[in-house]
Amino acid sequence: MPKKYPEREALVFKDRRVTYKELDKKANELGKVLIEFGIEKVDKVAIMSHNCIQYAILLFAVAKIGARNPLDAANWGSLEGSTQ
């Protein structure tokens, strides 16, 4: 989508809007940071966040580097005590 529709809105949350081009750029930048922190392909990355633009960008970044986000933010409370 970033190449085909770079200026179309990819994410909208409250008064904030992000185009496909911006989403792609920010997710790539964040993906590089995750790799620098040692996150590798097929690693599981836990993200605890409210719904917001940054959360969506992080999900895309995790996916772009081949890592996974197996947690459901809506039900994170049920996982308390079971994480290491």
Q: What is the mean pLDDT of residues 65-72?
A: 81
Residue 67: band (very low, low, confident or very high) from pLDDT cuts 50, 70, 90: very high
Give the range of the structural domain holding residue 28, as residue numbers without chain letter: 9-72
Tokens found for residue 8:
């179309």
- Which CATH number belongs to the domain containing residue 20 in this structure? 3.40.50.980
Query: CA nearest 76: which of 49, 54, 39, 45?
Result: 49
**Rounded CA gap, 68 and 40, in Å?**
10
Side-chain-side CA neighbours of 24 within 13 Å: the count stands at 12
**Could you give the dihedral angle defined by the CA atoms of residues 22, 24, 26 and 27, in that order, rounded to the nearest 10 degrees?**
150
Q: Quote the pTM value.
A: 0.78
The structural domain count of the chain equals 1
2 is a domain residue:
no
